[in-house]
Amino acid sequence: MSATSNSFDITQRTVTVTPNSAQSKVYGAVDPGLTFTNDAGLSPADFSGSLARATGENVGTYAINLGTLSAGSNYTTVLDATPVTFGITPATLAVNAVANSKVFGTLDPALSATLSGFQFSDDSTNSGITGSASCSRTAGETVLGSPYTITCAPGTLSAANYVFATGTTAAFTITVATVTVTPNSAQSKVYGAVDPGLTFTNDAGLSPADFSGSLARATGENVGTYAINLGTLSAGSNYTTVLDATPVTFGITPATLAVNAVANSKVFGTLDPALSATLSGFQFSDDSTNSGITGSASCSRTAGETVLGSPYTITCAPGTLSAANYVFATGTTAAFTITVATVTVTPNSAQSKVYGAVDPGLTFTNDAGLSPADFSGSLAGRRVRTSGPTRSTWAPSARARTTRPSSTRPR
């Protein structure tokens, strides 16, 4: 009996591949290898090729397809009928604060940010970014307290392929302001006085209490003008304090010396002596010998030539007095006294009368050149006994002296 042969076919088995769910990448990243399971219990090594997805690189979901995946010639590889997608999630752009600054006392400038983390050839101009960052800084308004920290949050920033996150911080610096100090004009003192506190204005609207230290001036104590300088004046660590470029000077004006009359006198009928003065009001160790005084005072007295009318008032005006550090002014007055003069009266000789007659007026001469009318009263005599019972003589007081009456004018 002969046998006949027949073929036995082994047909391909169908293996259904199911992509794993929730597979994704971040925008801009390289696609990961797509994973899957299969209903034939094969291992990944039993497959060649790989799954693929729909093309595209923007954020979104893309259908996964069988791509080149194959379980070999023994299998017909098919994709599960239930669609599975691959996701592209947004990349993150860092919102980085930009360093900034201001001058002390001014308003803060607008704070800004830059973005980093762009993918492909993206930048801030071609990525469809809308909105703006929200930047702020730590509180503080002093130079010494800075720099302060600027932080920028995402604010209202939005883009299709990106999300935003706070990035790097930056420094906010407060720099010193310049305050210009202008000394007040016409500041001065009198020679010998203590310097006053020098006053000033400023262009920052600060009050004097906002400053420490003080303005100063060029050294010197003689009459003249002295340049005012900044000295130790400071508005503190928030300011650079500078002096106005226009020079301002401090003046020392002359002190006043009083020209004081010196008391004097004369004897009635004589010429007035020279009148003199003393000076008072000297400063430092100055006196009349070391102060460079030239010229002389002009002294006079009130009119009058009688003893009873005195004392008369002596007044001394500055006259031609001059000195570098002083001016002169009439000071205290003094008394000018006229004292009584002495006049010597000499009775005339050989004056007599007849016994029983009335005494004649006794005559005389004087050494002052006065006329008899300038005298009041009269000479008197004393009785002198001579020989004989009835004879005697009367002798006028020899060389009698009298004081010239104060009402008598000199002749």
The correct answer on CATH 3.40.50 for the domain covering 13-89 is no
Query: Which of 109-118, 256-265, 396-405 has the least mean pLDDT?
Result: 396-405
Query: Strand 75-79 relative to strand 13-19: parallel, antiparallel, unpaired?
Result: parallel
Confidence (pLDDT) at 368? 84
Size of the chain, expressed as the number of residues it contains: 411
Single-letter amino acid, residue 340: V
pLDDT band at 19 (very low <50, low <70, confident <90, very high): very high
Confidence (pLDDT) at 9? 83
SS3 content of the chain, % helix, strand, coil (to 5): 0, 40, 55
Which tokens sit at 253? 């004006």
The residue behind tokens 């230290």 is 213
Question: How many other CB atoms are there within 10 angstroms of residue 213's CB atom?
Answer: 12
pLDDT band at 374 (very low <50, low <70, confident <90, very high): confident
Taking alpha carbons only, the member of 254, 235, 253, 408 closest to residue 338 is 408
Which tokens sit at 402? 């009298």
The residue behind tokens 């002495």 is 342
Single-letter amino acid, residue 190: V
The residue behind tokens 């204005």 is 201
**pLDDT at position 397 over 90:** no
Report how far residue 200's alpha carbon sits from residue 178's, in angstroms, rounded to the nearest whole number: 16
**pLDDT at position 407 over 50:** no
Q: What is the DSSP letter of 322?
A: B
**pLDDT at position 140 over 80:** yes
Distance of CA 267 to the CA centre of its chain: 67
Give the tens place of pLDDT for each residue, 28-46: 999 999 999 999 999 999 9
Query: Which of 189-193, 280-284, 300-304, 383-387 has the least mean pLDDT?
Result: 383-387
**pLDDT at position 135 over 80:** yes
Which tokens sit at 403? 């004081």
DSSP per-residue codes, 327-370: EEEE---EEEEEEPPEEEEEEPSS----TTSPPPPPPEEETT--
Give the tens place of pLDDT for each residue, 295-331: 999 999 999 999 999 999 999 999 999 999 999 999 9
As assigned by CATH, the class of the 178-253 domain is alpha beta
Confidence (pLDDT) at 112? 98
pLDDT higher for 3 or 376?
Answer: 376
Confidence (pLDDT) at 408? 45
pLDDT band at 405 (very low <50, low <70, confident <90, very high): very low
Claim: this prediction has a pTM higher than 0.75: no
Question: How many other CB atoms are there within 10 angstroms of residue 299's CB atom?
Answer: 21
Give the CA distances from residue 100 to residues 103, 139, 145, 237, 401, in Å, rounded to whole numbers and listed in that order: 11, 14, 15, 20, 113
pLDDT band at 396 (very low <50, low <70, confident <90, very high): low
pLDDT band at 47 (very low <50, low <70, confident <90, very high): very high
In CATH, the architecture of 255-339 is Sandwich (2.60)
Which tokens sit at 243? 């002096």
Query: Strand 23-26 relative to strand 134-137: parallel, antiparallel, unpaired?
Result: unpaired
Taking alpha carbons only, the member of 111, 76, 86, 78 closest to residue 96 is 111
